[in-house]
């Protein structure tokens, strides 16, 4: 996936990529150790070794900072080309599950979900910075499967977009629920069974 594009900034001293990386890493570390309610920009600045004003020049507040810290983790997800649609799905599911095993990813994502239930602006930022970007993986996977002849090409762009949304919701919802809510393992056996159900649907052959 493409990397996130930093927000425009006024002319002046160039923005430091190293500082950004340190700040986002410190944010995730602080979430694990302190939780959402106790996390402050001052603490993050101390951990990152930067001035507090440096954070405020980049992020308006804690919500924006935490979303970008989580988005950076999910930007590392890739859709492997394993030769078939089924193998591609299994590959990305296992990679997603492995990401969620890291304490910083698990804690940060759960904190964002909890906080966003009462904050519409935060929900909008999560959709724009995390969800919409990860949906690109679905579009990439479908296009690859269509080139292989595994899936038909859809002529209606709006219908194709709705289908992509649904596929993303099914995969992300299942993986997040199993990993973070049910706390059950996402191993190759479960992943294969899930992929079979996803590709076949609730048909008699899938239930057999």
pLDDT for the residue numbered 203: 64
**How does pLDDT run across 133-151, given as a tens digit for each residue?**
999 999 999 999 999 999 9
**Contact 25/17 with Cβ under 8 angstroms?**
no
Average pLDDT over residues 21-32: 93
Q: Please report, rounded to a whole number, the percentage of residues in the chain having pLDDT higher than 70.
A: 89
The reported pLDDT for the residue numbered 159 is: 87
Using CB atoms within 10 A of its CB, is residue 180 exposed (0-12), middle (13-18) or buried (19+)?
middle
Among 168, 32, 43, 34, smallest CA distance to 106 is for: 32
pLDDT value of position 15: 60
Predicted confidence (pLDDT) at residue 88 exceeds the cutoff of 70 = yes
Number of H-type helices and E-type strands within the chain: 11, 0
User: What are the b/e assignments for 15-38, b being 16+ CB within 10 Å?
Assistant: eeeebbebbbbbbbbbbbeeebee
Separation of alpha carbons 2 and 183, rounded Å: 30
Percent of the chain clearing pLDDT 90 (strictly above): 59
Cβ(27)–Cβ(112) under 8 Å? no
Q: How large is the greatest C-alpha to C-alpha distance in the chain, in angstroms? A: 65
- What pLDDT sits at residue 205? 53
pLDDT of 117 higher than 50: yes
Reply yes or no on whether the pLDDT at 108 is more than 90. Answer: no
- 12 pLDDT exceeds 50? no
Yes or no: say if 134 and 168 are a contact pair by the CB < 8 Å rule: yes
Q: In this structure, what are the phi and psi dihedrals at residue 8, rounded to the nearest 5 degrees?
A: -60, 145
Encode pLDDT of 46-73 as tens digits: 999 999 998 988 998 899 999 999 999 9
187 pLDDT band, cuts 50/70/90, is very high
pLDDT above 80 for 25: yes
Q: What structural domains does the chain harbor?
A: 17-61 (1.10.10.60), 71-201 (1.10.357.10)
Q: pTM, whole model, 2 decimals?
A: 0.81
Give the residue, 206 or 76, on which the prediction is more confident.
76
pLDDT of residue 153: 87
For the chain, the average pLDDT equals 87
The confidence score (pLDDT) of residue 30 equals 93
CA distance 107 to 100: 9
More confident residue, 154 or 126: 126
């Amino acid at each position: 996936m493409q990397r996130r594009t930093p927000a425009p900034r006024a002319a002046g001293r160039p923005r430091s990529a190293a500082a950004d990386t340190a700040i986002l890493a410190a944010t995730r570390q602080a979430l694990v150790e302190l939780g959402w309610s106790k996390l402050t920009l001052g603490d993050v600045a101390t951990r990152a070794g930067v001035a507090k004003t440096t954070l405020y020049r980049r992020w308006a507040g804690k919500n924006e900072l935490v979303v970008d810290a989580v988005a950076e983790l999910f930007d590392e997800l890739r859709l492997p080309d394993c030769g078939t649609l089924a193998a591609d799905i299994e590959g990305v599911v296992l990679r997603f599950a492995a990401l969620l095993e890291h304490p910083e990813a698990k804690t940060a994502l759960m904190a964002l979900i909890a906080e966003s239930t009462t904050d519409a602006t935060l929900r909008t930022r999560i959709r724009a910075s995390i969800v919409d970007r990860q949906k690109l993986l679905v579009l990439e996977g479908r296009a690859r499967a269509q080139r292989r002849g595994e899936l038909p090409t859809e002529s209606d762009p709006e219908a194709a977009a709705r289908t992509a949304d649904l596929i993303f919701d099914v995969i992300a919802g299942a993986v997040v629920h199993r990993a973070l809510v049910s706390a059950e393992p996402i191993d190759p056996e479960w992943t294969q069974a899930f992929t079979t159900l996803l590709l076949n649907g609730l048909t008699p052959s899938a239930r057999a």
